[in-house]
Amino acid sequence: MRVRLSGLIAEPFRELHRDILAGENREYWLKGGRGSGKSSFIALEILLGLLADCEVNAIVYRKVAATLRESVYEQLLWAAEKLGIAGNIRARAQPLELCYRPTGQRILFRGADDPGKSKSLKIAQGRFGFLWLEELTEFASMDDVRSIKASVLRGEGRSVTFASYNPPMSPANWVNEEVLRPVLGRKVHMSDYRDLPREWLGEGFLREAEALRESDMRRYRHMYLGEVTGSGEEVFENLCLRRIENREIEAMDGGFAGLDFGFAADPDAFVRMDYDRKRARLVIVDEFVGYRMDAQSLAEEIKRRARGARLTCDSAEPRAIYALRECGVAATTAKKGPGSVRRGMRFLQELTEIVIDPARCPVAAREFSAYAYARDASGRPNGAYLDRDNHTIDAVRYALESEILSRNAKTFERERMGI
């Protein structure tokens, strides 16, 4: 039976299909909302991979074993039917397993309720060439994933790991943080239901998506578009985490820098940024975080990174500022004062966009994305700003203090005039 893959693999996945065929990467993270086609694509790729190499087998994990049958197991049976090989598939229910009769290749299904159980997993014929981690967000941490991979993907030969998931709402979730980390051999792909032919989804699905879009845009963006929308408790809803190209930075002024001094277990945090006043857009282009640094070492690091930017420092450490000046750093002191934290935070929140490249500035990316409001005794956000895990945030406030004060002065003047 001849099968046209163009009728099974949607346009947004075709480049990814070619990448897998060419062996370009060893790990593929597919993220997207409901109906995005990611699980269907992975099921097809695993079966195509088994047909191409009779020495490989596959294993599929979900966090809880009881969820396997109604999800990935059925998805692979669907893929076998579409590829015209369902008649050659032997399906076993206890334990869940699919076997390709002509070669004896197997697809195993396991729950990761205890990742340690994978340590004793062996297969009599061939090796595991494909690992699929479905609903990655169900796993507790990247350590669970590493444990499974180390146990399953042993021996020689190429192996491919697929991870599929709907991104969690919170930017601080471990999956959302991990996917931003550049990893050699890992390719990240995103899709949503709008990328697929309407007839694949059905009118009922499309009506439900449209109804949610009209009634609750945040839930729609998360559930159907797979966007990291935040839960509404994050302070910086204007945050944009993305790659920043060198050519972008070269075209920027990059004229602001800030330094938050560390104490005891807290680090010194330096950031350099570009602020576009007209567009109300902030781009953080560089950072440095160090612990218990002497003045000379800190000064050398700042001089290497500041590139002529005006440096504003935490005024709580006048001796440290004096020491930096003695080392040749043109350091100015933040004025602070009553209400300065709230004014600075409101200024940052009201910007059109705060752009951070997680590869260039991983600490700033983590702190800005995870920073949430304090909670009251009942556990509800109370609008107060927490003074923890905010070293780069404070450094940004100091760097932009002149802009913050200028904006507040203009606002006060307008209010005084009744405008």
**Closest residue by Cα to residue 257 from 320, 307, 315, 300:** 307
Instruction: Report in angstroms the alpha-carbon separations of 153 from 97, 131, 161, 419.
Output: 18, 8, 9, 67
Give 313's strand partners: 259, 333
Q: Cβ–Cβ contacts within 10 Å for residue 405, how many?
A: 16
SS3 sequence of the chain:
CCCCHHHCCCHHHHHHHHHHHCCCCCEEEEEECCCCCHHHHHHHHHHHHHHHCCCEEEEEEECCHHHCHHHHHHHHHHHHHHCCCHHHEEEEECCEEEEECCCCEEEEEEECCCHHHHHHCCCCCCEEEEEEEECHHHCCCHHHHHHHHHHHCCCCCCCEEEEEECCCCCCCCHHHHHHCCCCCCEEEEEECHHHCCHHHHCHHHHHHHHHHHHHCHHHHHHHCCCCCCCCCCECCCCEEECCCCHHHHHCCCCCEEEEECCCCCCCEEEEEEEEECCCCEEEEEEEEEECCCCHHHHHHHHHHHHCCCEEEECCCCHHHHHHHHHCCCCEEECCCCCCHHHHHHHHHHCCCEEEECCCCCHHHHHHHHHCEEEECCCCCEEEEECCCCCHHHHHHHHHCHHHHHHHHHHHHHHHHCCC
Cα 225–chain centre separation: 15
Within a 13 Å sphere around the CA of 128, how many CA atoms are in the beta-carbon half? Answer: 24
Query: Which one is catalytic: 134, 135, 234, 287?
Result: 135
Burial class of 416 by CB neighbour count within 10 A (0 to 12, 13 to 18, 19+): exposed
Assess whether 233 carries a catalytic annotation. Answer: no
Question: How many beta carbons lie within 10 A of that of residue 392, not counting itself?
Answer: 27
Q: Indicate which residues carry an active-site annotation.
A: 135
